[in-house]
Amino acid sequence: MTQPKVLLVDDERGITQSLAAFMGRSGFHIDTAADGEEALRRAACFAPDLIVLDVLMPRLDGREVLRRLRRADDWTPVILLTQVGESTERAMALEEGADDYLNKPFDPHELVARTRAVLRRVREGQTSLMAARRLSCGDLVLDRYSYRAYVNRRELELTPKAAALLACLMTHPDELLTRERLLDEVWGWDYPTGTRTVDTRIAELRRVLDDDPAEPRFIETVTGQGYRFVGQVGIVE
C-alpha cells in the first residue's frame, strides 16, 4: 500500500524534525518546509496528500499560504496548527478552506489521528466539507453559514448551539468526536459549562431529527467516549 504523503510546515526546526520522525513511524511519507514560501514550492513539487501548516511563520503566514492554495483551486487537505484557541480564530481558519485545525501544544498522536480522519473523508480535487456552505445527508440539508437545517425542505427548530453542533458532526462524518473535543470546537473551553451540555444538545438534535439512538440514521453514541455522525454526507452545490 502506498504511504500517504504529508508536508509538514513549521518555522521551528525542532518541531518539524520530531513530527517528521513520529509521523514517518506512523506510516506517512514526510517532507518538510520552514516557511510559507517554501511550503508553496514544496507543495508543487512533492504533491502531498495532506499539508500540516503552522499559522505563525515568516515569509507568508499559514493562513496566506492556505488562501493562495485555494485561490489556485488546489484543494489539498490542510490541517492548521494554531496558538489561538478562540472560536473566532477557528471559524476564520475553516471558512478560508482549512479541513481541520489543532491548537499548540498538542499530542503527536492526536495529529496522526486527525490526519487519518481528514484523509478518509477527503475527495480528490473537490471542495472540502469544511469549505462547503451547504451539506446534505439524505433528506437533511444544513446551511453552515446561516445555521439553518431542513428536512424535506421544512426548516427545523434548532437552538444556535445545536445547529453548530450538527455542523461540527456533519463536517467530520464517520469520525469519533469526544465530548471534550465537541465542547472545545462548538463552545470553546473558556465557556463556563461541562461536557453534559454536549449530551443535552445531542438529545435536542435527535428529537428534532427523529433519530433513534438505538438505530441511528445520523448520530451514533460511542459509549464512554463521544459521538459519531454515521450518515453519508455530501455537498449541495
pLDDT computed for residue 192 by the predictor: 56
pLDDT computed for residue 137 by the predictor: 96
Out of 3.40.50.150, 3.40.50.10860, 3.40.50.2300, 2.160.10.10, select the CATH number for domain 5-121: 3.40.50.2300
**What sign for the dihedral angle of Cα 121, 122, 123, 126?**
positive
108 preceded by a cis bond (ω within 30 of 0): no
Within the chain, all domains assigned CATH 1.10.10.10 are found at: 133-235
Q: Are 111 and 16 in contact (CB under 8 A)?
A: no
Within the chain, all domains assigned CATH 3.40.50.2300 are found at: 5-121
Average pLDDT, 10 consecutive residues per value, the chain (237 residues): 91 93 96 96 95 91 92 91 66 73 90 91 68 91 93 94 94 91 78 80 96 96 94 89
Strands 29-33 and 154-155: unpaired
Q: Are 35 and 60 in contact (CB under 8 A)?
A: yes
**CATH placement of domain 133-235:** 1.10.10.10
Please give the grid coordinates belonging to residue 121: 473523508
